[in-house]
Structure 1
Amino acid sequence: MPTTIASITLDVPDPTAAEAFYDSFGVGAHVRVRAAEAPTTGFRGYTLSLVVSQPNIVDTFIGAALDGGATALKPAKKGFWGYGGVVQAPDGAIWKVATSSKKNTGPASRQIDDIVLLLGVEDVKASRQFYVDHGMEVAKSFGRKYVEFATPPANVKLALYGRRALAKDAGAAPDGSGSHRITIGSAAGPFMDPDGFAWEAASV
């Protein structure tokens, strides 16, 4: 079995408020938070994505996030790839909600098909090799542009994208420095990857 992500922990200034936001957003079961004031400015170098089955589910999650105090970075709309939008949580984390479908085939639900952690890296090829060396299995690869790793059902997917391309996709300026304010839990940890993302030991 390939190495998998067991948990995602976000550093936030107010854990109680963050927990309330993520519960109302609908992802509280998948995200942990902890108090931290690590210095950070601008783009943190990653996004979290919810992949769902149809547009009205995208609208449900985006609406819940905005009602909870999130900021719209990209309003939900149709594109050649499907339908989706991007929001920034009150703690600063960027979330994309998207579907490859352009039509609704049933009532809206809060069903999440996949959660994807997309890391914006300086060298996709080098980071791919780093993660392969740490037990990840490549599922999709587009040269130096994009890599997605194999993930069993009900686990957080890991993917790599160029930092500037990821920021553009998220509707954010690419510049940023300081802490990523995210820690990835996995049986493969602890280690620090080439772009400064921290992994900690966690049971899957």
Structure 2
Amino acid sequence: MAITLDVITLGVPQVDAAYTFYTAAFAPPNNGDDRAIGLDLHGTGHLAFRQIDALAADVGARPASSGFRGYVLSSIVGGPSEVRVLLETATANGATIVKPAKKQLFGEFTAVYRAPDGAVWKLAASSKKDSGPVPSPPRPTETAIYLGVAEPKASKAFYETLGMRTEHDYGDKFIDFTVAGGVCRLGLLRRRDLARDAGVDEHGDGFSAVVLTHTAASRAEVDTLLTAADSAGGRVTADATQTDQGDYVGRFTDPDGYHWKITTRPGAGSGGHIPATS
């Protein structure tokens, strides 16, 4: 059993507008314009959208929020020129610059923008120098979400109980987990440090407007993860039940209140095999 971050769902004012913005910002592979699937971020995870009132209702939260939502999304690309291109594309489609593209104190080349839906994105280059022409479109090598938490070491213990393996551990400064192909990376920082790094005010309250989703191989895995989350200090907010669409879905929050959805695809049984569908 190991939880993975398969889909990041953002609560947005208008789903069509968000879909249009992120399609322009990341030029994802064509999925037939199926908004139910969301956007494939070039094999580094999926981004989906739901009207913020509906998403809040899904998790039993009030949709109102103000200020910093407590998390920062990140897209990592090959070199500085790719960061510049992604930033220019985002701002041309309605994003606002929080931090311009430039080399930081320790050599990292980054930029930060706020998307029209309010989500904060950090763009970062994995290399200090460009290695060749900028691909069109730039393709992220990794998509991540960094959560602002009270105590990163305590949150680390929670996620390790759910099967995640730590890749970088700098105590209460920064922690992240190993990531497999096709899913997003999860990282942890203290809330004030995350806000400072992104260049935004740390204060904010209300619904975070994000739900993290893991697609389990079986109903048994859904139940096991919910039990593990509850015993490790999280809170099960919805016991697993079968939906009208045939999914088996349960929900929990981590110790800092971030919402997770654990689901199966229709047809998943109690074991680890999902029957093929025609």
Q: How does the TM-score come out when normalised to structure 1?
A: 0.95
Q: Is 1:77 the counterpart of 2:102 in the alignment?
A: yes
Partner of 2:127: 101
Amino acid at match of 1:131: Y
Alignment of 1:6-85 (within 5 A): 6-26=6-26, 28-29=39-40, 30-37=46-53, 38-79=63-104, 80-85=106-111
Give the aligned residue type for 1:163.
Answer: R
What SS does the aligned partner of 1:152 have?
Answer: coil
Among residues 252, 258, 268, which one is paired with 1:191 in the alignment? 252
Distance 1:35 1:52 in 2: 29
The letter of the residue matching 1:10 is L
Secondary structure of 1:5's aligned partner: coil
Question: 2:107 & 2:143 partners in 1: Cα distance?
Answer: 18
Runs of at least 5 residues in structure 2 that lack an aligned partner in the other structure:
29-38, 41-45, 54-62, 217-224, 227-250, 266-278
Task: State whether residues 6 and 182 of structure 2, in contact with CA within 8 Å, keep that contact through their aligned partners in structure 1.
Answer: no
Q: Which structure's CA Rg is the greater one? A: 2
Counterpart Cα distance in 2 of 1:68 and 1:202: 33
Q: Per-residue deviation at 1:57? A: 0.7
CA positional deviation for 1:3: 2.2
Q: Per-residue displacement from partner, 1:163-204 (whole Å, max 9, x unpaired)?
A: 000000111000000000000001346210111100001359
Task: Note if contact 1:3-1:137 (Cα within 8 Å) is conserved in structure 2.
Answer: no
Q: Cα gap change, 1:203/1:47 in structure 2, threshold over 3 Å: closer, same or farther?
A: farther
Relative contact order (alpha carbons < 8 A, sep ≥ 6): 1 or 2 greater?
Answer: 1
Contact 2:79 2:131 in 1 (8 A): yes
Task: Say how many residue pairs are matched.
Answer: 204
Instruction: Report the structure, 1 or 2, having the larger strand content.
Output: 1
How far apart, in 1, do the equivalents of 2:69 and 2:152 lie?
17
SS in 2 for 1:154: coil
Give the counterpart letter for 2:261 in structure 1: E
After superposition, the Cα gap between the structure-2 partners of 1:40 and 1:85, relative to the gap in structure 1 and judged at 3 Å, is same
AA at the equivalent of 1:87 = Y
